[in-house]
Structure 1
């Protein structure tokens, strides 16, 4: 499920996806601040030429995009792969908005 953030929480320019019980964010401007994994690793949004080696498509599509995941980093990242090959790496972002 994809949804837009909320203006009153400062996340209205961020798009979130809930996938397999985790939340990931499309936040190229860094509005959410520094995101970190439970082990303290900093997680970042990135635009890539293609999905990482070992990543697999999930079959979940919207228009010209498909959600991909990699067993090597599914805890921290989700990949949005366009038919052109252009890929966005969305970091895990378990942020909450108390409205």
Structure 2
């Protein structure tokens, strides 16, 4: 289900112009590009890595989000999803995990 939703999101974003990427989002002071970077950054971290990143900033979530945006934003808005997709592929994130049979 998550893979299907990511594919739908990617399709929705594919047609955005530079102006669309720079558009103010409904998330406070973030643009569409920054929201996408935030969403995809979360998908590229394991729970353990997420916890470490929060500890490193003394549980200052705004500071953590700012760091994640810098790491996951492209040179231009349209590059953000491509960079994230590449990182996810390198980390084998997004691949289906076989379900365990019931006991």
Interval of TM-score (by shorter of Structure 1 and Structure 2): under 0.3
As a proportion of its length, which structure holds more strand?
Answer: 1
Higher Rg: 2
State TM-score, norm by structure 1: 0.23
State TM-score, norm by structure 2: 0.23
